């Protein structure tokens, strides 16, 4: 569900002030026709332009409701029903990986994929590679007890074409840092070296994970895993890039 701002983006008080300002100034100018045009244009601008601004921002989160996920996994089934309801956790949000970058340690200008920000490089290397990546998540969750929001990015390597191997996981965990409905717009930046010499493909994937304790020292309620396309995925799924095609 995309968030819509139904009141033209202006809080009520500011809209009143704007109207008052325009009215008073109209009355003091000789060319009232011109001011009428300006008022009409302003109104049109607010009506026509505002929605596009609301959707165009970097923080249009493309909300999804984990309670209505289409998968049949246990995580999906448990998302809203498991536990003893002493704690309630619900997560919505989006997660993207951007500007995954891999380059040779010796020369950061070479082998840089640059224009392909979401996957990295294929190359023959004789030295260790470094892979830099960051994850940016905008997520909101509500928890009634101890809970955590976690964002992870994972580095994969395909060594000498022997298959993909997940060799690194970096993450940030927010816990008990707020109560009620909590939102984090977090950027996690991780760098990694020593994938080993040889022919490598390097890629980055990511997932996020929200949980809450059912009781203070109870079990965990897994809520959801999402990929960058807002499709629910299992962590075990071989999601070797951010699209999981």
Residues that bind another protein (CB under 8 A): 3, 5, 8-11, 14, 18, 34, 37-46, 48-50, 53-54, 57, 59-60, 138, 146, 148, 150, 152, 154, 165-178, 183-194, 209, 211, 213, 217, 220, 222, 225, 235-236
From 189, 89, 190, select the one nearest 149 (Cα to Cα): 89
Residue 231 and residue 71 in contact, taking contact as beta carbons nearer than 8 Å: no
State how far the Cα of 35 lies from the Cα of 19, in Å rounded to an integer: 13
What is the C-alpha to C-alpha distance for residues 98 and 188, in angstroms, rounded to an integer? 11
Within 10 angstroms of residue 100's Cβ, the number of other Cβ atoms is 26
Cα of first residue to Cα of last residue in the chain, in angstroms, is 23
Minimal distance in Å, beta carbon 15 to another protein?
9
Closer by beta carbon to another protein, 48 or else 115: 48
CB distance 229 to 173 below 8 Å: no
* Closer CB to another protein, 22 or 80, in the complex: 22
Least Cβ distance, residue 134 to another protein (angstroms): 9
Nearer to another protein, 119 or 190 (CB): 190
Query: Among residues 166 and 231, whose Cβ is nearest to another protein?
Result: 166
- Minimal distance, residue 196 CB to another protein, in Å: 9
The distance of closest approach from Cβ of residue 180 to another protein in the complex, given in angstroms and rounded to an integer, is 14
């Amino acid at each position: 569900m995309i968030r819509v701002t139904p009141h033209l983006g202006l809080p009520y008080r500011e809209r009143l002030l704007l109207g008052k300002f325009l009215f008073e100034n109209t009355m003091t100018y000789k060319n009232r026709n011109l001011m009428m045009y300006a008022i009409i244009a302003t109104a049109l601008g607010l009506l026509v332009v505002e929605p596009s601004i609301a959707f165009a921002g970097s923080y249009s989160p493309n909300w999804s409701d984990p309670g209505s996920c289409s998968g049949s996994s246990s995580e999906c089934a448990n998302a809203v029903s498991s536990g003893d309801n002493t704690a309630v956790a619900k997560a919505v949000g989006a997660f993207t990986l951007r500007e995954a970058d891999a380059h040779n340690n010796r020369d950061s200008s070479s082998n840089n994929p640059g224009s392909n920000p979401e996957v990295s490089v294929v190359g023959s290397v004789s030295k260790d590679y470094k892979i830099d990546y960051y994850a940016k998540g905008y997520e909101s969750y509500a928890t009634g007890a101890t809970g955590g929001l976690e964002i992870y990015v994972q580095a994969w390597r395909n060594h000498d074409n022997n298959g993909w191997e997940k060799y690194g996981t970096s993450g940030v965990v927010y816990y008990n840092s707020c109560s009620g409905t909590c939102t984090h717009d977090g950027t996690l930046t991780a760098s990694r070296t020593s994938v080993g010499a040889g022919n490598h493909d390097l890629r980055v994937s990511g997932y996020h994970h929200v949980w809450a304790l059912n009781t203070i020292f109870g079990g965990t309620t897994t809520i959801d895993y999402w990929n960058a396309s807002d499709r629910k995925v299992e962590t075990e799924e071989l999601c070797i890039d951010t699209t999981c095609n």
